Homo-oligomer: A and B are copies of this chain.
Amino acid sequence: MHPGNQAEGPLTPGLVFEMLQAHQRTAALKAAIDLDVFTAVGDGPGDVASIARHCSASERGIRILCDFLAIYGVLVKENGHYRHSPTSAAFLDPRSPSSLASIAQFLGNPAMHEPYLHLADVVRAGRTTLPGDGSVEPENPVWVQFAETMAPMMAPMAAPLGAVVLEGHNGPMRVLDIAAGHGLFGIEIAKQNPQAHVTGLDWAPVLRVALDNARKAGVHERYNMLPGSAFEVDFGGPYDAVLLTNFLHHFDKQTCVGLLTKVRGALRPGGRAATLEFVPNEDRISPPMPAAFSMTMLTSTAAGDAYTLSELTGMYNEAGFGGIKAYPIPMSPHTVVMGHA
């Protein structure tokens, strides 16, 4: 992955060229999802003509697109025919239960891509060039899209997060899910503990998505909605646990400390606050995915970041939490960091 850091082999400008063309990969995968290429490939027989027919697209376009996807390992090409790779079978065929095709809508949202068109200006300014506070502007409609499309990416994190939050905890409990989004994390708690009551906090249009998911999971009678800003609404409580998933990274440290302090005030003594975050190592350049997430925060927020464990621990401590511990989720770029009130 890091040819530039390695002395092996002759030095070529391949890495420079590859990076300057990397934008093609994003466009190609999004186009293939939009055109329903992965359904066509799953159906077979996988020749250009039949895929083009299924997608109502030109044969030249499909051939070049599918070749491109095969070059980058998304499809397999054999004897002029395309078939699924393990990745496309599991994560891109819309009929796969683990399909992630919908996340291309959020990750490919043109509004969120806009700052990359003038990234040098963003780096000069040190903050998003999106209006106001960027992605965390009040009522930003992007979070409805997040709730509607990113659930498949977040779903595998729900059970591990639930296990950490529920460990050693039985019987009735009240849980606040801050920035609930699709609601899957709070819903998971309600599924695992039939005596848990969950309150989802988010913008009202987002909570409609969460409630819909709660209904599908059969836990809507124990799912309450608290619409508004996490910084402004009264949390109520006391709660046994508060979830803060994919949220702290949008804000600067002092704002996070302020929010965590408010969270601690809404927890019963000994109650738990659990964040789900991209947590890079202290070098901030590994592992690649959590570390690179800071770029998304640079372009979309005023002062957010991918915080290291020492930074998150510092925030928790400053907010009065103790017993802070990290639980990396296996085979995922996410980590749960939990503290006790």
What range describes how many residues of A lie at the interface? 35 or more
Stretch binding the partner chain, chosen from A5-13, A241-249, A253-261: A5-13
Interface set, chain A 118-140, CB cutoff 8 A to B: 119-120, 122-127
Taking the closest CB of chain B, its distance from the CB of A13, in whole angstroms, is 5
Return the CB mask of A301-341 against B: 1 if under 8 Å, else 0: 00101000000000000000000000000011100000000
Whether A126 and B58, one on each chain, are in contact in the complex, defined by CB atoms closer than 8 angstroms, is yes
Whether B67 and A124, one on each chain, are in contact in the complex, defined by CB atoms closer than 8 angstroms, is no
Whether A4 and B57, one on each chain, are in contact in the complex, defined by CB atoms closer than 8 angstroms, is no
Cβ of A104 < 8 Å from any Cβ of B?
A: yes
Tell me, in angstroms, the Cα distance from A305 to B67 when the chains sit together.
12
Tell me, in angstroms, the Cα distance from A283 to B108 when the chains sit together.
30
- Once A29-B20, A67-B294, A70-B285 are accepted as A-B contacts, the answer to whether A127 and B92 lie under 8 Å apart by CB is no
Cβ of A116 < 8 Å from any Cβ of B?
A: yes
Task: Chain B residues near A64: list those with CB within 8 A.
Answer: 123, 294-295, 297-298, 305
Cβ of A292 < 8 Å from any Cβ of B?
A: yes
Cβ of A15 < 8 Å from any Cβ of B?
A: yes
Return the CB mask of A43-65 against B: 1 if under 8 Å, else 0: 00000000000011111111111
Chain A interface mostly helix, strand, loop or mixed? helix
Whether B332 and A12, one on each chain, are in contact in the complex, defined by CB atoms closer than 8 angstroms, is yes
Tell me, in angstroms, the Cα distance from A108 to B21 when the chains sit together.
8
Whether A77 and B4, one on each chain, are in contact in the complex, defined by CB atoms closer than 8 angstroms, is no
A15 touches which of B26, B73, B76 (Cβ 8 Å) = B73
Cβ of A173 < 8 Å from any Cβ of B?
A: no
Cβ of A291 < 8 Å from any Cβ of B?
A: yes
Whether A60 and B127, one on each chain, are in contact in the complex, defined by CB atoms closer than 8 angstroms, is yes
Looking across the interface, which residue of chain B has its beta carbon closest to that of A10? B331
Cβ of A216 < 8 Å from any Cβ of B?
A: no
Whether B283 and A77, one on each chain, are in contact in the complex, defined by CB atoms closer than 8 angstroms, is yes
Whether B11 and A285, one on each chain, are in contact in the complex, defined by CB atoms closer than 8 angstroms, is no
Cβ of A35 < 8 Å from any Cβ of B?
A: yes
Tell me, in angstroms, the Cα distance from A70 to B284 when the chains sit together.
9
A29 touches which of B14, B19, B303 (Cβ 8 Å) = B19
Tell me, in angstroms, the Cα distance from A92 to B119 when the chains sit together.
18
Cβ of A288 < 8 Å from any Cβ of B?
A: yes
Cβ of A117 < 8 Å from any Cβ of B?
A: yes
Tell me, in angstroms, the Cα distance from A291 to B24 when the chains sit together.
13
A72 touches which of B2, B11, B87, B122 (Cβ 8 Å) = B2
User: Which of A65, A71, A103, A117 has the most CB atoms of chain B within a 10 A radius of its CB?
Assistant: A71
A76 touches which of B5, B108, B305 (Cβ 8 Å) = B5
Cβ of A86 < 8 Å from any Cβ of B?
A: yes
Top 3 A-B pairs ranked by shortest CB distance? A58-B126, A2-B73, A61-B123
User: Would you list 16 pairs from A and B whose C-beta atoms are within 8 A, ordered by A residue?
Assistant: A4-B75, A4-B88, A5-B85, A11-B87, A12-B332, A15-B72, A15-B74, A19-B29, A20-B104, A20-B108, A58-B124, A59-B126, A61-B125, A64-B294, A65-B119, A67-B294
